Amino acid sequence: MAEPQLVDLADLKPRLQRTFDHYASKFGTLIDHHPDYFPIYTEGGRWRHGGELWTDWCAGFLTGILWHCYRRIRHEWWRDKAEHYCRLLEHKQHDRDVHDLGFIFLNSYLPWYEVTGDASKKRVVVTAGQTLAMRFRERGQYLCSFIGPESLFIDIMMNVPIIFYAARETGDERLLEVAKAHCRTTERTIVRPDGSTAHEGIFDTNTGEFLRQSTHQGLSAESDWTRGLAWSLYGFGTVYSYTNDPADLAVAERNADHFIDRCPDGLVAPWDFDAPEGDRMADSSASAIAASGLWQLADLTRDPSRAARYQDAALTILDTLCSDAYVSWNDPEWEGVLKHGVYHKPKGLGVDQSVMWGEFFFLEAICKVLAMIDGD
Ligand code: GLY
């Protein structure tokens, strides 16, 4: 069982700042060389390639990176770019074919609203939340994934907060009921007693009965796919910040304890905790998501010893990742920042590459810690 380290912030801070500066350089170059292009994963370190997308869900992450750069650098060039990339996404607020509207709009139009206070930007986020709620299946009580009406994904826990947001901003009780019901169904069907999670739940669409756990991106239906676990940890924590329901906090804590306990030293997770020796490559993106989710959870938990453990774990992950082994400082040909991520191992897509959500959540975690150090 791995334990978080006690990380020296004075030692970590310059590496956080160096990594942030590297982001500004790499992503400034990306949008300069490939304007209006939303990549998902690299091939051979290159963002633009002809590889399969599986599903197109990442546009909010590039936009969110531009907002993080603006919020720290405070130069209008970044704001112009972030606003421009937001506008390219506006039409997606009505997209009923995807379950990723939270990923897209909480990282694009929500920061735009927060920066400007412009109510028209908030309206786009609210509409996206209302659109996502249309995926709710009365029979079964869940938001279905893009796969089809029978499918619930653990990833949706990162998207359901946009429905809580829309419910809060509109006072619409029905939206609140839908979002809460989805969380309880997810907990009951694909969060396991030990805190691990399945990627997918399959339901009988006629009766709403839960049939079985399943996976697309993990090793097997029963296995411990680490990115899904990180989505659950972070998602249930965010949901708790809306609901104040101890059931949501308890799931996030169970996920967090399980994630930390099963990680190797340094807390960079393999792509699936059950992957056999010889096939246990890291998924740095899982740990980047976990770092940001653990940092948040340290603030939310009511237990001081847990808070300390989660904060140390988040810092341990950043301490490990902000290094030559993971950041492309010494590889000018590599177009991403965070190396050694995994997209879709069973399909062989984006394996040992940079992935856009890894880039986003690593930067988000770095910005949170730098803000704390700077007293912002
Ligand atoms: N299905 C979203 C992910 O790759 O985590």
All domains in the chain, ordered by first residue? 9-374 (1.50.10.10)
Distance from the alpha carbon of residue 343 to the mean position of ligand 1, in angstroms = 7
- CA dist 23 and 120 (Å) reads 30
Q: Which atom of ligand 1 is nearest to the CA of 216?
A: 1
Q: What is the mean pLDDT of the chain?
A: 97
Q: Give φ, ψ of 173 to 5 degrees.
A: -65, -30
Among residues 267, 270, 268, the alpha carbon closest in space to that of 280 is found at 270
Active-site pick, 32, 95, 100, 248: 100
State what percent of residues in the chain have pLDDT above 70: 99
DSSP label at residue 14: H
What value does the mean pLDDT take over residues 238-244?
98
Token pair 């169904």 is found at 185
Token pair 């969060």 is found at 191
Residue 346 pLDDT > 90? yes
Residue 309 pLDDT class (50, 70, 90 cuts): very high
pTM of this structure: 0.97
> Cβ < 6 Å from ligand 1: which residues?
155, 217, 227
**Known catalytic membership, residue 100:** yes
CA-CA-CA-CA dihedral for 355, 356, 358, 364, to nearest 10: 160
Distance from the alpha carbon of residue 264 to the mean position of ligand 1, in angstroms = 22
DSSP label at residue 275: P
Residue 282 pLDDT > 70? yes
Instruction: Please write the tens of the pLDDT for every residue from 98-156.
Output: 999 999 999 999 999 999 999 999 999 999 999 999 999 999 999 999 999 999 999 99
DSSP bridge pairs for 282: 270
Q: Yes or no: say if 127 and 140 are a contact pair by the CB < 8 Å rule.
A: no
Q: What is the pLDDT of residue 376?
A: 80
Distance from the alpha carbon of residue 9 to the mean position of ligand 1, in angstroms = 31
Token pair 């029978």 is found at 150
Token pair 């992935």 is found at 355
User: What residue type is assigned to position 230 of the chain?
Assistant: A
Residue 1 pLDDT > 80? no
What value does the mean pLDDT take over residues 41-51?
94
Q: Which atom of ligand 1 is nearest to the CA of 285?
A: 5
Active-site pick, 36, 95, 155, 319: 155
Residue 53 pLDDT > 80? no
Distance from the alpha carbon of residue 241 to the mean position of ligand 1, in angstroms = 23
- CA dist 357 and 289 (Å) reads 8
